[in-house]
Amino acid sequence: NNKLRCRTVYAFAREMYPKTVKCDISYGTAGFRTRATDLEYVMYRMGLLAVLRARFKKAVIGVMITASHNPEPDNGVKLVDPMGEMLEQSWEKWATKIANVTDDKLENVIHDIIKECDIQNMNDRPEIVVGKDTRPSSPSLAKAVFDGVLAMGGKPIDYGIVTTPQLHYFVVCKNTNRAYGQPTEEGYYRKLTNAFNKVRGEKLNNGNYTNSILYDGANGVGAKKVKYLKEGLAGSLLIDMYNDEIIGSGKLNYLCGADFVKTQQAFPTGLPRTPNTRCCSVDGDADRLVYYYLDESGKFHLMDGDRIATLIAGYLKEILEKTGMAQKLKLGLVQTAYANGASTDYITNKLQVPVACVPTGVKWLHHKALEYDIGVYFEANGHGTVVFNAEAKEKLRNAFQLNNLTREQKDATSRLINIIDIINETVGDAISDMLLVETILHAKGWDITQWEAAYADLPNRLLKVTVQDRTVISTTDAERKCSTPVGLQEEIDKIVAKYSKGRSFVRPSGTEDVVRIYAEAATRQDCDKLASEVAKIVHELAGGTGSPPEI
């Protein structure tokens, strides 16, 4: 059996999915991501790896085909571990190895994995749950994944076009024997909308809060899926949807979507420019969310991942206090170096919630958040969620059963228990996060300007520099300092020292072939000067190509 399987695996590899690209790729921040035309053999091999991983973990594994915020011609793939986490780091090296090995060495690498990981159950037929975004290249790449899964003897389960967080949700539902929910799209919408409608109650508007929102679907899967969500909401939230072009229009993420809005700090195309109206954007696979509005003078105001995080952490703190369990349940927030300094000050000093800083990438944030009973994590780009550990859930449920709670404590406990079901704990989820933000704004009776009033962001700027080889930049201290090229950090320090409240760091992107620059300072002018100077020095010392970016 094994021999036959091996023959199929390698024959397929050589004949249908030969390795066509010479240069290596590595499993980065969000798996493999590059031009779709270079990915067929990688997809096939990820199908093989997913089955090995599933046998090793004795669990269902997910494969998501997406390049999320990247332009439409790119694509990518990431593996989802049994409890919805990103692929465990020790296996990233296998992913990179299996993707880069020549066709004639593929067999050796597979044997190495089986041997080193001591995978015994090679005859098992584990389920591999596969999803894809709306990119035109996704169907043929999905076919390559299925062939890999089948060749290795696994059972591919095709979920078709879904959001990345939906795929994570399905994996967790399957691995918890449906305790987390039904592993179907319908089950997903039902879980979220039932909980949302329950928490919201009869009163649809409250104080300055009105229950309608303008929604930018980035011309991607987030647009397709929100239509089903709307049915489940049954009018409790009125979502006015924009940017839902047909598949293959080339407009995915183009001048719209969460990444565009956040990086350009600009209003997306396609939405009506109605002043003081609450708007939100998701990205190409609907795992990021940002809010924003235009004021009467047409000025753009952004509520990014930091704002969402502070809103959620502040509200959870408030409600926890009302349950009477604030002392028993440790609440914490996880950010990355991209978090605006003003948000970190606000969380630490005003909200008094402990904050941790980790490198970019959901895997780092998610793991750190699990150290708290209730861990809120968000990247400034709008990628995040809340995780409740099993003990916290049990404590809340037990407390609710007891008869010794005051009315206020009981109401708050029941509310918090329902809120847990609005949240997709398996990974950051734009749709679920939107329902959570709406729940909180409704509870507070706030319009978007009241939300914004909590603190004032320091002006900030994101730039990209293209270099010959982005791996020449390596970082330390949760990416806040760079260790190579030698001398670069000293130069950045000198530049930063010139600006009041200045802060800047550089890091190689894990999803695009660029180096990213972040800068913030007390004024917009200083911030832009700081960003330009740092971009220039990176260009000079790290082998920049073309000319440094202009602001």
Report, as residue numbers or ranges, the catalytic residues: 68
Q: Binding ligand G16 by CB under 6 A: which of 6, 509, 528, 543? A: 509
User: 270 or 361: whose CB is closer to ligand G16?
Assistant: 361
Strands 374-378 and 384-388: antiparallel
Closest approach, Cβ 366 to ligand G16, in A, equals 10
Q: Binding ligand G16 by CB under 6 A: which of 383, 442, 444, 503? A: 383
381 lies in the site for ligand G16, by CB under 6 A: yes
Cis peptide leading into residue 485 (ω within 30°): yes
Residue 386: its H or E element: strand 384-388
User: 185 or 429: whose CB is closer to ligand G16?
Assistant: 429
283 is in an annotated binding site: yes
Stretch that binds ligand G16, among 6-14, 141-149, 487-495, 506-514 (CB under 6 A): 506-514
335 lies in the site for ligand G16, by CB under 6 A: no
User: 343 or 381: whose CB is closer to ligand G16?
Assistant: 381
Q: What is the DSSP string of 135-198?
A: -TTHHHHHHHHHHHHHHTT-EEEEEEE--HHHHHHHHHHHHTTTSS--SSHHHHHHHHHHHHHH
470 lies in the site for ligand G16, by CB under 6 A: no
Task: Report the largest interatomic distance among the alpha carbons of the chain, rounded to a whole angstrom.
Answer: 71
Closest approach, Cβ 62 to ligand G16, in A, equals 14
381 is in an annotated binding site: yes
Closest approach, Cβ 70 to ligand G16, in A, equals 7
337 lies in the site for ligand G16, by CB under 6 A: no
Between CA 56 and CA 90 the distance in angstroms is 13
Q: What 3 state SS string does 282-335 have?
A: ECCCCCCEEEEEECCCCCEEEECHHHHHHHHHHHHHHHHHHHCCCCCCCEEEEE
Closest approach, Cβ 517 to ligand G16, in A, equals 11
Q: Are 282 and 244 in contact (CB under 8 A)?
A: no
Binding mask 10-29 for ligand G16 (x = CB under 6 A): -------------------x
Binding mask 267-306 for ligand G16 (x = CB under 6 A): ----------------x---xx------------------
Q: In terms of Cα–Cα distance, which of 26, 122, 40, 30 is closest to 79?
A: 30
258 is in an annotated binding site: no
Closest approach, Cβ 219 to ligand G16, in A, equals 15
Between CA 439 and CA 196 the distance in angstroms is 7
Q: What 3 state SS string does 388-436 have?
A: ECHHHHHHHHHHHHCCCCCHHHHHHHHHHHHHHHHCCCCCCCHHHHHHH
Q: Binding ligand G16 by CB under 6 A: which of 379, 421, 433, 526? A: 379
413 lies in the site for ligand G16, by CB under 6 A: no
Contacts of 366 (CB under 8 A, 6+ apart): 85, 86, 377, 387, 427
Stretch that binds ligand G16, among 18-26, 149-157, 358-366, 417-425 (CB under 6 A): 358-366
User: 386 or 441: whose CB is closer to ligand G16?
Assistant: 386
The radius of gyration of the chain's CA atoms, rounded to the nearest angstrom, is 23
The length of the chain, given as a count of residues? 551
507 is in an annotated binding site: yes
37 is in an annotated binding site: no
Looking at the DSSP bridge assignments, the partners of residue 89 are none
User: 13 or 312: whose CB is closer to ligand G16?
Assistant: 312
State residue 125 phi and psi, 5-degree precision: -120, 75
Between CA 172 and CA 166 the distance in angstroms is 10
185 lies in the site for ligand G16, by CB under 6 A: no
511 lies in the site for ligand G16, by CB under 6 A: yes
User: 63 or 392: whose CB is closer to ligand G16?
Assistant: 63
529 lies in the site for ligand G16, by CB under 6 A: no
Q: What is the DSSP string of 451-510?
A: HHTT--PPPEEEEEE-BS-GGG-EEETTTTEEEESTTHHHHHHHHHTTSTT-EEEEEE-S
71 lies in the site for ligand G16, by CB under 6 A: no
Q: Binding ligand G16 by CB under 6 A: which of 63, 357, 362, 506? A: 362
Q: Binding ligand G16 by CB under 6 A: which of 9, 13, 30, 416? A: 30
Specify binding-site residues for substrate: 379-381, 507-511, 516
Specify binding-site residues for Mg(2+): 68, 283, 285, 287
Binding site for ligand G16 (CB under 6 A): 29-30, 68-69, 283, 287-288, 360-362, 379, 381, 383, 509-512, 516
